[in-house]
Chain A
Amino acid sequence: MDSLSNTIIEALTLLFNGNAELWTIIGISFQISSTAILIASVPAVLIGFTLAYSNFFGRRLLISVFNTLLAVPAVVVGLTLYILLSRQGPLGEWHLLFTQTAMVLGQITLSFPILVAMSHSAFQSAEMRAWDTARTLSNNSISAFVIMLREVRFGLLGALLAGYGRIIAEVGASMMLGGNILHYTRNIPTAIALETSKGEFAQGIALGIILVLMAFLLTMILHYIQGRGMLAHGR
């Protein structure tokens, strides 16, 4: 018991004393995940929008594919990209394996289906009448699309937060694609895995606290956004 409380105190000390190594790991985590979500969100929202309001051959199949991809484990995504990016793989010439770029690619792949599925349902919840009205009011499709983005903004923000929550805490793909290199590709989840395997729990707990705090913060923001959305729709 003493040992556990000592470890927690040590973890809090690491956090509040501004331990450089710890905060570098936190910084790398947020940098990689934020880049991934920013890159993935634009095409994902466009695909979600197209799936909601366009009628084309294979649309239902595509929706099923994205829904299936939601359940793919991070480690499978990591393995697939590892094979593609490894020296013998088709993209081996790019020399991306064990770089931050590879981690970003992995996280884009992981967040993409969530962003597509959630933005699709956000657009669908606004019904066809909304899109028709936006089109009839606007002189071109881009301004109609902008009206729709605003109309479903709460759903889209929810999608971004859910996607972010999924990738900031994943360990499988980051470990395989980044290689857990200190000051370069070591992020919060891979650092926790490493420190735990060494029996060094203090840093793991400190990083765990950050992840739990962030999960709490994301949930609070999501609840707030959903509440605003319901108020705005008169519910």
Chain B
Amino acid sequence: MVDKPFNSLEFSHIKKSFGRGRQNKRILKDTHIHLKQGECTLLSGKNGSGKSTLMRTLAGLIKADSIAISFNEQLLDNKKAYSFIRQHVMYLYQEPYMFDGSVRRNLGYALVRKNTDKIKQALKWADLEHREDTEAKCLSGGEKQRLALAQAWLKQPSVLLLDEPTANMDKHAKIRTGKLFAEFKQRGTTLLIASHDLDHLLQVMDRRLILENGKLLEVEKE
């Protein structure tokens, strides 16, 4: 189970722009997103619509021009919001960055204290047992993605943000990764997945949002 169960998590009044003066480009225009525990939301939108910016903003990796975070319908002040994000929201890149060292070492970074048993479990969960001592930078794209998911599995964030996780994967790898997403959901982890790959995510997806002109729109279920 996730370490911080919740009923609702709402990010509102999210504004973000880049550049100054005439170069200024508003990417997110006072938008909001409401997440429920264990729910999987698919985020789609055209290339350059700001999906990655939105996700990185939600993860606290980019400073928003404005943002308000409510947890279980209670508004968090700025300091608490930042600390909340750091502890409970995790963002994974399309091409996850692997640190120098073995797969085992990279998994260890997701733990506050070294725990060999947990690392072994994570390796088994991500089907990377045979790669334990391999240099993480030398893994294939799909294996890197599974390793990043195994790090998330160890860290147990309440919210997991995934940026195009199945891009550049073959069909087999996509199915395998989809199963890992389903296991996160079972654990109670909230997933927000930016992807164009609707077919492979239909089974785990609960709802779909589209980012258009800096605002999020909910797509009605067919």
Interface of A toward B, CB cutoff 8 Å: 127, 129-130, 132-140, 143, 147, 150-151, 232-234
Contacts and interface: CB of A to CB of B under 8 A. Distances in A.
Interface stretch (B24-32, B89-97, B116-124): B89-97
Contacts of A139: 86-87, 112
Contacts of A151: 99-100
Contacts of A129: 93, 95, 97
A136 B109 contact: no
Interface of B: 56, 59-61, 86-87, 90-93, 95-97, 99-101, 109-110, 112, 135, 137-138, 151, 155
B97 to A, nearest CB: 4
Nearest to B157: A136
Contacts of B112: 139, 143
Contact of B61 (A130, A132, A137, A150): A132
A232 B93 contact: no
A136 B99 contact: no
B140 to A, nearest CB: 13
B3 to A, nearest CB: 11
Contacts of A136: 59, 61, 90-92
A147 B90 contact: no
Nearest to A127: B97
Given A132-B56, A135-B61, A150-B99, A234 B138 contact: yes
A147 B97 contact: no
A171 to B, nearest CB: 39
A227 B206 CA distance: 50
A139 B112 CA distance: 8
- Most chain B CB atoms below 10 A, which of A136, A138, A234: A136
Contacts of B155: 137
A150 B102 CA distance: 13
B59 A150 contact: no
Contacts of A140: 86
B135 A232 contact: yes
A130 B97 contact: yes
Contacts of A232: 100-101, 135, 137
Nearest to B100: A232
A39 B61 CA distance: 32
A147 B91 contact: no
B87 A150 contact: no
B86 A234 contact: no
Contacts of B56: 132
Nearest to B60: A135
B135 A137 contact: no
A140 B86 CA distance: 7
A137 B99 CA distance: 11
B100 A133 contact: no
Given A133-B99, A137-B110, A232-B135, 20 more contacts: A129-B97, A133-B93, A133-B96, A134-B99, A135-B60, A135-B61, A135-B86, A136-B61, A136-B90, A137-B90, A137-B155, A138-B109, A139-B86, A150-B99, A150-B100, A151-B99, A151-B100, A232-B100, A233-B137, A234-B138
